[in-house]
Each structure stands twice: as C-alpha cells, then as structure tokens.
Amino acid sequence: MAGILIAMADGTPQEQQRAAHALCPICGMKSEYFASIKDAHRLFHSRVFPYWYCGNCCSFFQHPQVEEHELAYVYDAYYRRIVECTSSARKEMPTTTSHSSTVVQMKGKRILDVGCGDGSFFVNSGYEELYGIEPTKVVAERAKQKGIRVHEGDFESASYPDEFFDTITFIHVLEHLRDPHYVLEKIKEWLKPHGSIVIQTPNADSNINRLFRQHSQLFAAPAHFYQFSFKSLDVLARPHGLKVVGKRRIGLPESWALSYNIKTFGVQDNTCIRTGLVLLIARLLEHLSSLNNRQAAIEVQLAKL
C-alpha cells in the first residue's frame, strides 16, 4: 500500500509539495508533507527524498519511494564500507547494542531473522535452527559460514512452510521494506500459533526527531521508508490478526551524536562517535529522553490474536 498523493495546489514545485496531502501507507489517513531530506552520506549530488508525517498514527513515510536502482547504489556503498574497513574502523558503524539480549529472551526451537546481515546477532540466541533472509551476497556468505540457513535474496522471494517458526525478528529492518502490510500478511503464515514476532525500529516519537527534525539520523534517507511509533505498529498489526503483547524503549546514544554531526556539517561522519566526550554527552541526552519515554528506538513483540 503505497502512499497516494491526493491533492495538489498551484505554485512552485516546493509550494505544491507543501500544500499536498498523501495517504498514510500504515493507517490510510491524510498526512502532511514534512521535509525533503538529503542522504546523510551524500551519495547523491543534489537529490532529496520527500518525507511525510501522519499525525493519526504518528509515523513518517517516504513518498514517492526511491527507485530500486538508486537504493541498490546506497546499499552497495554501505556494505562496501563494512567489507573494506578494518576491524577497528568497523566500530564506526552505528550499532544497536541490545539485539542479542532481546532474542535470548524469546523461547523456541526455530528462529528467522529477516535482514540477518552476517548473522552475528542471533548465533548465540539458544535456538536450535537459525534461518535468515539477506539480499546482500557478501554478508549472506558470512552468515552461511556461521551455520545459518540463509535465503539469499529479497523478502519477496522468500518462502517457508506455514506455522514453521517460533520467532521471527526484524532488527532495524522493517523500516527498510517498502510495504509493511505485505510483510506482516506474509510472515503471519510462517509463524507457529503461539509464536512471536519481534520488531526493533527507530522511534518516530523520539526526542531526537523533535530536536533535529529533518537532520535526525533516524531518517537515514533514502534507505528508511518509514519511522514507526508504538501506535503505528499497533495499527499496522491489527488488520493481520496480530496484536502487540510486549513493548519497550531502547536508547541509541550514537544517533544523538550522528544527528548533531549531520545538522552541523551537513554530512554524517561516523568518526564523531569514537570521541569519548561526544558519546558521554549523547548518553546523557538519551538518558534524559528516557524520562519522558522518547528514546531513539522502540521494540514490540507481536503475537497472533
């Protein structure tokens, strides 16, 4: 369900965009134009990517969505950096530290991680059978070497038997997929009756977004098609016979430092998060965000109704 432009006004293209409305792909309600955002790594010269905000379910979405060939260019550059950089430089990559702790808490025999990357996050999860979906060949190969049964391809091409998995995880992945309704409709068939879906994703309702707005690192244009909130994930799940049975907020201090970096210098330079003082301040800000429940990331656990 792509967002659909439903109204246009006269004027310059920018004025037209501000005056236009789009339907939220999650809840279907009329949404407001938010900003046109450059990619933070400046892979594209002067290209901007329009984002919209839905006040009904509290979510951001990209509309129109970037073309597939442009997206491939973004991911090629991203993974080339991972593969080429040394182990010390790899520490520059933004990380979410609580992946494995989440998965460990889940119970079961068979787990699927959608967008599993090199599989690092669930190799010690305690599950007997580890499955992954990963479209990028170079990291999919690394996951296979760890004993993970990887479907090397995109989500659309993946297929598993009905009621096959105890747990299905999306660790900062759902926001990268074009149509989250299609995703949930498909994976609910793969889930055992008492199984769980775990989604970790940037928080649309975060203090980082409030302070940095279009400079927030959480947009990650154009790779992120969405930013969700607890409300929008609940709205997303219900039409598919799924409900939220658990939720928590997750701090991402690095995102404060990276957002400041983008706002100040116009480009994301990950070396800033190697500075001790910067990270200390970022941790403090994310701690303060926890006081009003607006940390940078959220996690929900979904179960079948």
**Which residues bind to Zn ion, rule: CB under 5 A?**
24, 26-27, 54, 56-57
Look up residue 289 and give its two tokens: 């965000």
The contacts of residue 268 (CB under 8 Å, 6+ apart) are 40, 41, 217, 258, 261, 262
Q: Compute φ and ψ for 80, nearest 5 degrees.
A: -60, -40
CB of 257 to Zn ion, least distance (A): 30
Whose Cβ is closer to Zn ion: residue 27's or residue 43's?
27
CA distance 119 to 209: 30
Closer by beta carbon to Zn ion, 178 or else 215: 178
Q: Is 147 left (phi over 0), alpha (psi -120 to 50) or beta?
A: left
Would you say 54 or 285 has its CB closer to Zn ion? 54
Q: How far apart are CA 225 and CA 65, in angstroms?
A: 7
Indicate the residue among 23 and 133 with the shorter CB distance to Zn ion: 23
Nearer to Zn ion, 4 or 138 (CB): 4
Residues 6+ apart with CB under 8 A from 34: 51, 52, 53, 60, 214
- Count Cβ neighbours within 10 Å for each residue of 223-255 and write b for 16 or more, e otherwise: bbbbbbbbbbbbbbbeebebebeeeebbbbbbb
Among 151, 237, 225, smallest CA distance to 191 is for: 237
Q: Would you say 29 or 138 has its CB closer to Zn ion?
A: 29
Phi-psi region of 119 (alpha: psi -120 to 50; beta: other; left: phi over 0): left
Shortest spacing between CB 1 and Zn ion, in angstroms:
11
CB of 56 to Zn ion, least distance (A): 5
CA atoms within 13 A on the CB side of 90: 8
Check: CB of residue 217 under 8 Å from CB of residue 207: no
Q: Looking at residue 203, what DSSP letter applies? A: B
* Residue closer to Zn ion, measured from CB, 26 or 171: 26
* Shortest Å, Cβ 7 to Zn ion: 17
Nearer to Zn ion, 192 or 243 (CB): 243
Least Å from the CB of residue 232 to Zn ion: 6
Shortest distance, position 294 Cβ to Zn ion, whole Å: 19
Cβ 58 to Zn ion shortest distance, Å: 7
CB of 62 to Zn ion, least distance (A): 14
